[in-house]
């Protein structure tokens, strides 16, 4: 749906544009390009690397930076300890990477770099392709660990223990469906939560612009409250960015728990 | 009815789902606070479960939003 003239299109912020090499052809009709999505992902990876590398000093009395990094790793360590148990320690690197990547990606999309002319902020977590791949990685780990550790016995995940067969049969069907839906729900949750917040911010921004352009009366009546609401929603979005990254890590660790400690 | 109008009406009806999910999320936090105020010592250990409940409840609201977006932009 194209935006009419002079209106703010809230979906414009999600367009993916090739920045480099829009003509790199792999084969006929198959191209590859360095897009703005890839740029922000690379930026996020570099920032996470800088953040963690700055705290890897291993000093006996940690400084502020080392303390910040150790709080993060300790947080993920506690999460896995609580949800998976002692066997969860070996997943700390994966969950930590996942958590930091999503958290930094979410927060980077909220940084008002749009104030610099020509620069457009881009939240790569608001794309189903990105969150989908992250969810598929988590789901693959569950499948690989489950089948490697328990073999075909892993299918007993769907069969509730100590339940009469006439109840267990329909329940196992429901369990199977809920298991298969996991990657979709995991990816959808992050993608929709980030997209909804950004659309809301842009819709409010269009209210501010339209209200301000319609004269003093409407500017005070519509523009100013919308702007105040925008500030409040931005604060809420920072909270959502943290919660969604945490929920993604938490649910991944829960699913890993299913594979690691089969009932 | 015009199909486009019907789709937009459906998108509006999907907002009911978003509102109900808000009730659900509110319920999760209300129940958590109620329990946490009775036994503050056990509150910290249950925060993981709080967020599992939050994730489960808000997913339905997000799905309602997806349905609305699909109906509007298709």
Min Cα–Cα distance to chain A from B1, Å: 21
Searching chain B, which residue's CA lies closest to the CA of residue A11?
A: B73
Determine the Cα–Cα distance for residues A80 and A253; give it in Å rounded to an integer.
Answer: 6
Once rounded to an integer, what is the mean pLDDT over residues A97-111?
93
Cα of A192 to nearest chain B Cα, Å: 6
Q: Read out DSSP for A161-228?
A: TT--HHHHHHHHHHHHHHHHHHHHHHHHHHHHHHHHHHHHHHHHHHHHHHHHHT-HHHIIIIIHHHHH
Mutate to test the interface with B, among A187, A189, A190 (most CBs of B within 10 A): A189
SS3 A26: strand
Residue A217 scores a pLDDT above 60:
yes
Query: Which of A188, A192, A247 is facing B51, going by the closest CB pair?
Result: A247
Q: pLDDT tens digits, residue range A126-170?
A: 999 999 999 999 999 999 999 999 999 888 888 888 888 888 889
Are residues B66 and A192, on separate chains, in Cβ contact within 8 Å? yes
Provide the pLDDT confidence category of residue A56 given band limits of 50, 70 and 90. confident
Q: Is the pLDDT of residue A42 over 90?
A: yes
Q: Residue A3 above 60 pLDDT?
A: no
Is the CB of B51 less than 8 angstroms away from the CB of A246? yes
- Chain length of chain A: 263
pLDDT digits (tens, 9 = 90+) for A181-209: 999 999 999 999 999 899 999 889 888 88
CB < 8 Å to A192, chain B: 62-63, 65-66
Which of B7, B52, B62, B65 is the best mutation test for A, with the most CBs of A within 10 A? Answer: B62
Mutate which of B18, B47, B48 to test chain A, going by most A C-beta atoms within 10 A? B48
Report the 10 Å Cβ neighbour count for A11: 14
Could you give the CA distance from residue A242 to residue A225 in angstroms, rounded to a whole number?
A: 26
For residue A7, what pLDDT is reported?
67
Helix (H) or strand (E) holding A34: strand A34-35
Indicate the average pLDDT of chain A: 88
pLDDT in tens, B19-64: 999 999 999 999 999 999 999 998 888 888 899 899 889 888 988 9
Q: What pLDDT sits at residue B9?
A: 93
How far, in Å, CA of A154 to CA of A260, rounded?
A: 10
The whole-angstrom distance between A118's CA and the closest CA on chain B is: 28
Average pLDDT of span A63-74: 91
Q: What Rg value do the Cα atoms of chain B yield, rounded?
A: 17
| pLDDT tens digits along A167-184 | 888 999 999 999 999 999
Cβ contact (<8 Å) for A250 and B62?
Answer: no
CA distance B40 to chain A (A): 19
Asked if the model's pLDDT at residue A5 lies above 60, the reply is no
For this complex, say whether ipTM is above 0.95.
no
Confidence of residue A19 (pLDDT cuts 50, 70, 90): confident
Q: List CB contacts (< 8 A) between A243 and chain B.
A: 51, 54
Q: Report pLDDT for A189.
A: 92
**pLDDT tens readout for residues A81-96:** 988 989 889 999 999 9
Least confident of A16-20, A229-233, A254-258: A16-20
């Amino acid at each position: 749906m194209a935006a009419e003239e002079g209106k703010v299109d809230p979906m414009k912020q999600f367009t993916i544009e090739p920045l480099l090499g829009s003509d790199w052809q792999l084969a006929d009709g198959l191209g590859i390009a360095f897009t703005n999505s890839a740029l922000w992902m690379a930026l996020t990876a570099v920032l996470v690397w800088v953040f963690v590398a700055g705290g890897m000093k291993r000093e006996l009395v940690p400084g502020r930076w080392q303390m910040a990094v150790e709080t993060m790793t300790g947080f993920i360590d506690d999460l896995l300890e609580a949800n998976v148990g002692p066997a969860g320690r070996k997943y700390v690197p994966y969950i930590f990477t996942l958590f930091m990547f999503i958290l930094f990606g979410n927060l980077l999309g909220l940084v008002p770099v749009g104030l610099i002319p020509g620069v457009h902020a881009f939240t790569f977590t608001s794309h189903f392709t990105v969150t989908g791949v992250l969810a598929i990685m988590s789901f693959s780990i569950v499948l690989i660990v489950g089948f490697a550790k328990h073999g075909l016995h892993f299918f007993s995940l769907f069969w509730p223990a100590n339940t009469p067969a006439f109840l267990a049969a329909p329940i196992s069907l429901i369990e199977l469906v809920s298991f298969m839906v996991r990657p979709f729900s995991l990816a959808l949750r992050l993608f929709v939560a980030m997209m909804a917040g950004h659309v809301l911010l842009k819709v409010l921004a269009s209210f501010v612009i339209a209200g301000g352009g319609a004269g003093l009366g409407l500017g005070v009546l519509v523009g100013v409250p919308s702007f105040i609401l925008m500030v409040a929603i931005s604060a809420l979005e920072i909270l959502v960015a943290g919660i969604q990254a945490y929920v993604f890590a938490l649910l991944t660790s829960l699913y890993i728990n299913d594979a690691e400690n089969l009932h | 009815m015009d199909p486009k109008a019907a789709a937009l009406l459906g998108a509006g009806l999907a907002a009911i789902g978003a509102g109900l999910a808000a009730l659900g999320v509110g319920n999760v936090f209300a129940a958590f606070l109620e329990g946490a105020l009775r036994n503050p010592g056990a509150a910290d250990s249950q925060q993981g479960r709080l967020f599992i409940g939050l994730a489960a409840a808000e997913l339905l609201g997000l799905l309602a939003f997806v349905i609305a977006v699909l109906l509007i932009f298709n």
